[in-house]
């Protein structure tokens, strides 16, 4: 790639006005992971069961998510490799690499369960479609969206997903304006505290739904696909400084926009439930919450909620499948046809739906599984982005590394407390 091309790329990154739009997209696509049906179930359950108690968890999770997603994007931009690719090259022991892939693959499957179930529930609410068929349709539509990525490139894929994000945002926030929450309750919810084992379980579920391992893997790949081709890779120290630095500044804006949208929507879901569903019988399920919203606020809000849930399932399952394919390729150096992979990963979700397991419970528990997968993605990410040998002059500053370590310690500690409470029945 010539220096003229690099200069034009850097100019696009720095230029104001419409050209800045060229830089926006990867974080918004990765941010769909923060708006998936698992988030909806966890936040609705938390608000309906505990009111404003866990508002602080949503806010804290979103702050940590900003840092984590930026580090993921930075790794992809600077190295030209995704996190799975980087780990696949650095983990020399074949069995260790396979073990790491297995846990990452299980996390991706847990993600898929949440997303397919959420889409199935939405189709059932909107069209009375049986859950199993709703799951099949959700999976097949995700294949179509992914085909756009492979045939039309990342920009078309991003455009479709961003359009779904708009639908999600409208569907989940309208109710808060129609039936607003209590400001005093919201402020009180910013004080960190728990109320027993179930509230800790929900906190872990919210964190697992917000800081999702597959989003970390996916964002590094999305940033790589979009930006790495516009930068030379021969000279990390000298040949890429100006363009890379400007791209990273623009990426911080991309991540900020994405996390602001995701955080606002997640908070609105919890506040909607806290203000309108607390103490209402049957609201521990998505179906019950939909019925309560319809009866309490009106059919328009309830329908928008269901439409938002459907868009959430369709968008997030597409991004989840993209992440799963990247995990397998990066760690095992194997590419499986997307249709074959999609069919295999659909099986657990369809089995849960066919067996009649409560969809909302399955969603919440899947997010707990995700929370246990966070350290396996987060610790390597923080470590790699702190090393000069990996990122050269773009390695983390000390304060960034300290913040990443603090987030890792907090998440691991919360999971440890959760595990102890579940074992002791506390």
Q: Based on the structure, what is the number of domains in the chain?
A: 1
**Digit-coded pLDDT (tens) for 6-40:** 344 444 444 443 355 556 678 878 877 778 787 78
- The Cα 219–Cα 30 span in angstroms is 5
Q: How many residues does the chain have?
A: 426
**Digit-coded pLDDT (tens) for 47-104:** 888 999 999 999 998 999 899 999 999 999 888 899 999 999 999 899 999 999 999 9
SS3 sequence, 240-296? CHHHHHHHHHHHHHHHHHHHHHHHHHHHHHHHHHHHHCCCCCCCCCHHHHHHHHHHH
- The Cα 224–Cα 97 span in angstroms is 22
pLDDT band at 415 (very low <50, low <70, confident <90, very high): confident
State the DSSP string of 308-325.
HHHHHHHHHHHHHHHHHH
Q: What is the pLDDT of residue 249?
A: 85
49 burial level (CB within 10 Å; 0-12, 13-18, 19+): buried
Once rounded to an integer, what is the mean pLDDT over residues 356-373? 76
Q: What is the pLDDT of residue 6?
A: 39
pLDDT of 378 strictly over 60: yes
State the DSSP string of 370-422.
HHHHHHHHHHHHHHHHT-HHHHGGGSPPHHHHHHHHHHHHHHHHHHHHHHHHH
* Torsion sign, CA atoms 263, 403, 382, 233: positive
Residue 9 has which token pair?
A: 């790329």
**Digit-coded pLDDT (tens) for 96-112:** 999 999 999 888 888 78
Is the CB of residue 264 less than 8 Å from the CB of residue 173?
yes
- The Cα 348–Cα 113 span in angstroms is 7
pLDDT band at 403 (very low <50, low <70, confident <90, very high): very high
What is residue 189's three-state secondary structure?
coil
pLDDT of 274 strictly over 60: yes
Question: Global pTM?
Answer: 0.83
pLDDT band at 423 (very low <50, low <70, confident <90, very high): low
- What residue numbers bound the domain in which 100 lies? 3-424
- The Cα 195–Cα 198 span in angstroms is 7
pLDDT of 426 strictly over 60: no
Q: Which whole-number Å values give the CA distances from 338 to 84, 128, 334, 343, in the listed order? A: 18, 29, 12, 9
Q: What are phi and psi of 18, to 5 degrees?
A: -55, -30
- The Cα 305–Cα 172 span in angstroms is 5
Residue 207 has which token pair?
A: 């964190």
Instruction: Give me the residue label for tokens 């397991």.
Output: 357
Query: What value does the CA radius of gyration of the chain take, rounded to a whole number of Å?
Result: 21
For the chain, how far is it from start to end, CA to CA, in angstroms? 60
Is the CB of residue 354 less than 8 Å from the CB of residue 106?
no
- The Cα 371–Cα 373 span in angstroms is 5
pLDDT mean across residues, the chain: 81
We report the CATH number of the domain holding residue 216 as 1.20.1740.10
**Digit-coded pLDDT (tens) for 279-313:** 777 777 778 888 888 888 888 988 988 998 888 88
Once rounded to an integer, what is the mean pLDDT over residues 210-216? 82
- The Cα 271–Cα 52 span in angstroms is 7
Is the CB of residue 26 less than 8 Å from the CB of residue 219?
yes
Q: What are phi and psi of 202, to 5 degrees?
A: -65, -35
Q: Would you tell me how many other CB atoms lie within 10 Å of the CB of residue 159?
A: 14
């Amino acid at each position: 790639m010539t220096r003229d091309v690099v200069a034009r790329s850097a100019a696009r990154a720095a230029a104001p006005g419409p050209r800045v739009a060229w830089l926006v997209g990867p974080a918004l696509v990765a941010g769909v992971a923060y708006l998936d049906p698992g988030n909806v179930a966890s936040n609705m359950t938390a608000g309906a069961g505990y009111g404003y108690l866990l508002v602080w968890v949503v806010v804290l999770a979103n702050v940590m998510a900003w840092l984590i997603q930026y580090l993921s994007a930075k790794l992809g931009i600077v190295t030209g490799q995704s996190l799975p690719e980087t780990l696949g090259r650095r983990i020399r022991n074949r069995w260790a690499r396979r073990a790491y892939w297995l846990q990452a693959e299980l996390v991706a499957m847990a993600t898929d369960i949440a997303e397919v179930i959420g889409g199935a529930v939405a189709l059932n609410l909107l069209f009375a479609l049986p859950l199993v068929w709703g799951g099949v349709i959700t999976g097949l539509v995700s294949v179509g969206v992914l085909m756009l990525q492979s045939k039309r490139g990342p920009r078309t894929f991003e455009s479709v997903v961003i359009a779904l994000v708009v639908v999600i945002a409208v569907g989940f926030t309208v109710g808060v304006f129609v039936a607003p929450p209590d400001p005093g309750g919201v402020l009180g919810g910013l004080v960190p505290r728990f109320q027993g084992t179930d509230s800790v379980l929900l906190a872990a579920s919210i964190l697992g739904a917000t800081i999702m391992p597959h989003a970390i893997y996916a964002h590094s790949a999305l940033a790589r696909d979009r930006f790495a081709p516009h930068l030379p890779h021969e000279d990390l120290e000298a040949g890429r400084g100006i363009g890379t630095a400007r791209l990273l500044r623009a990426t911080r804006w991309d991540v900020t926009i994405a996390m602001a949208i995701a955080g606002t929507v997640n908070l609105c879901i919890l506040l909607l439930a806290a203000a309108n569903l607390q103490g209402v019988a049957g609201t521990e399920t998505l179906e019950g919450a939909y019925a309560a919203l319809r009866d309490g606020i009106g059919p328009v809000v309830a329908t928008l909620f269901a439409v938002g849930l459907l868009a959430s399932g369709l968008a997030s399952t597409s991004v989840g499948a993209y992440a799963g394919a990247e995990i397998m390729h990066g760690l095992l150096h194997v590419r499986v046809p997307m249709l074959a992979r999609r069919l295999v990963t659909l099986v657990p979700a369809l089995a849960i739906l066919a067996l009649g397991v409560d969809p909302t419970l399955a969603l919440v528990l899947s997010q707990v599984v995700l929370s246990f997968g966070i350290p396996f993605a987060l610790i390597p990410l923080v470590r790699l982005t702190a090393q000069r040998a990996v990122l050269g002059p773009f390695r983390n500053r000390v304060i960034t590394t300290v913040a990443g370590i603090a987030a890792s310690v907090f998440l691991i500690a919360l999971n440890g407390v959760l595990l102890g409470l579940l074992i002791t029945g506390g």
